[in-house]
Every structure is written in structure tokens, then in C-alpha cells.
Amino acid sequence: MKAVLTLGVGLAVVLALALVPVIGPRILVQDLFKVLCLLVLALNWNLLAGFAGLVSVGQQAFVGIGAYVMFATTILWGWDPLAGMLIGGMLAMALSIPIAFFAFRLNGAYFAIGTWAVADIARLSFGQWRALGGGTGTALPRDATREMFGVGLVRDLLGVSPAAAIDAVTYWLALGLATVMLVACWLFLRSRMGLGLQAVRDNPVAAQSVGVDPTRLKALVFLLTAFVTGLCGALLFIQIGRITPDAAFSVIDWTAFVIFIVVIGGIGTLPGPIVGVLVFYGLQRLLSDYGTVYLIALGLIGIAIMLFARRGLWGGLIHCIGFDPFPLGHAAPRLARQSIKEDAA
């Protein structure tokens, strides 16, 4: 019953969001695109930090790598940006293997600092890429995005300008990515490996003694989140259309905000990032005129939540209403109760 409710509400929300480019103003499409991308990044970071215990402050490395690789395949090889996006994700995953090799020697705060350092090395290295504009960056050729897969079709169907059609296509991709990521997270956490991950989170030594390999599970999560983070990075910069090393590897935009979203929403809960991203978007709309005050306010709210509501807004909410739309638990088989029911029937 509850599962049907979740599925119904979820489908309705996804459907309503899918209609936004058809009926909504373009500015809303662009805003929601950012929100959906931040949601994808937040779901990934929540999986890393909230479930695998890998508090990375270097996820902007994968955003930047995905984005730069997409730019390289588009500008240097003349590929479709969407093909470049896929390659970007795969290369982000490939590069996460050597990064994991080094970073996994570190624990806790040291891991956080290590990943941050790696991301900065990546930022400086990509800034040396002359063909992509070096430190000042470059822009995607206009034709590349206009001729991108699906853009022509959307133009004809909706009868909008090429720029609006590009916004619509990237928006739908972000919506698809966020939806797939949410469902995949839930399925993964309910699977054997997700159960093992939760055991490792609670007690790594005991987990080993019942046959769970913590390093293997953490490495798997690190690799998969690098892939999706890379995809999301490439998608973000298809829509933005311009790239610089500082923007693509921004620790504020792609990690600090994401951490804020996950922490206020509820780290280690699946709906937490959704709640967090909505609150973040609201605050951004309210406070964006105030410049740096806005960042200070975000920081204060983050600190307050960490001190007084450690399970985040979602954690508090679930405590009040007692209904979890994404239950991660496994209920024990109720053989006795079932047979009683059958007897009564």
C-alpha cells in the first residue's frame, strides 16, 4: 500500500516536472535544471558519505573531468556533446581508480583533505590544456549544441528557439538522470551489497568477520559515484556552454553546496537530498540578492542543523510522521503470523 503511494506520488512528480519545458517559462527550466543536477550530485555524495563513510571533499574533480572530456570530444574531435558526456562519465570513473588507490590509504578527515588535494591537482592540470583555452577556458561551438541529438526534434515539436530547445533537452536529461539515480540508489541499498555497506557503516570489524569486504564495497561506491558525477558535470557544462578550470573544478559549487544540501536534508537517508535541494533552492531564491550574506546564512543554517537536528530535516520529519517512502530495511519473514491470517480466513 505504502509502496503504491510512493510510486504514485513519484510518477506524478516526475510527469509534472517533465512537462515544465512544454508549458513553463524558460527561466524556470534553467533554474530547475540546476536543481536537478544538484540533486544528482547530492544523491551521489550521500551514497559516498552517508552510506559508505567516504567523506569526500573532492567530488568536483569528477564534475570537472566529465565536463572537460565532453568539451575535448566536442571541440577537438567534433563529436556530439551527448556522446562526449558518456565518455566524460566513463573517464571520470577510470580516473577514480588511481585516485581511490591513493585516497583509500587515508581515513576520516585525512581522506577528506586528500580528495580535496587531488581535485585541486586536477584543476591545475586541466588549466594547462592549451587546446581548451588553458586557464581562461573556452566555449562550446554554437553549432555543436544546436545540432546535438534531440535538439532539432524538440525545436520542431515545441516550435521554440534553438537555445530554448537546448535547455529543454538538457533539462530532460537531468530529470532522467536524477530519477534513475534515485531508483538505482534505492535498489542498490536494498541489495546484498547495500546491506553489507550498512553493516560496514555500523561496525567494520564485525562486518569483516561475517564475510563482508569493506574496501571492496567502498571502492565500488567510489567508482560508481565518480561515473554519475562525471556524467552530471558534463551535462551541466553542455547547458552552461562555457568552461574554465575554476568553474568546472569549483569546490564551492560542486561540493560545499552539495554537502550543505545533504546535511540539512538528512545524511544517510534516501529522501534527505531531495528535501535538502528544495530548501537550498528556496534559500537561494530568497537570499541571492544579498551577496556574501547569503553564504554566511547558509553556513549558519548548516551549523544549526548539525548541532540541533543531526539527522537533518528529513530525519526529524520521519520521526514525526513515522512513514518512510523509501524503506531500506528488510522485514523478517512472518511465517507464524501469515498462517494465523490464513486460519482466520
Partner 1 sequence: MAILSLQGVSKNFGALKVTDDVSFDLAPGEALGIIGPNGAGKSTLFNLITGNLRPDAGQVLLDGRDITLETPMQRCASGVGRSFQIPQPFDHLTVYENLLVAARFGGGLAASEAPLACMDILHRTGLSALSDRKAGALPLLHRKRLELSRALATRPRVILLDEIAGGLTDGECVDLVATIRSLHAEGTAIIWIEHVLHALTSVVTRLIALNFGRVLMTGTPDEVMAAPQVQEIYLGIEA
Which residues contribute to the site for partner 1 (CB under 8 A)? 192, 195-196, 198-199, 201-203, 205-213, 329-333, 335
Are 71 and 88 spatial neighbours (Cβ–Cβ below 8 Å)? Answer: no
CB of 133 to partner 1, least distance (A): 48
H/E stretch holding 243: strand 242-243
Are 229 and 99 spatial neighbours (Cβ–Cβ below 8 Å)? Answer: no
- Phi–psi pair at 109, nearest 5 degrees: -65, -35
Record the cell numbers describing residue 245, joined without a space. Answer: 578550470
125 vs 198, beta carbon nearer partner 1: 198
Distance from C-alpha of 88 to C-alpha of 104, rounded to nearest angstrom = 23
CB of 331 to partner 1, least distance (A): 6
H/E stretch holding 302: helix 292-308
How far out from the chain centre does Cα 296 lie? 24
Q: Which of 325, 213, 221, 306 is nearest to 266 (CA)?
A: 306
23 vs 210, beta carbon nearer partner 1: 210
If you count DSSP H runs as helices and E runs as strands, how many of each does the chain have, helices first? 18, 2
DSSP state of 326: S
Distance from C-alpha of 340 to C-alpha of 345, rounded to nearest angstrom = 9
CB of 51 to partner 1, least distance (A): 11
159 vs 211, beta carbon nearer partner 1: 211
159 vs 329, beta carbon nearer partner 1: 329
CB of 328 to partner 1, least distance (A): 10
CB of 265 to partner 1, least distance (A): 18
CB of 4 to partner 1, least distance (A): 22
Tell me the sheet residues that pair with 138.
243
210 vs 321, beta carbon nearer partner 1: 210
307 vs 332, beta carbon nearer partner 1: 332
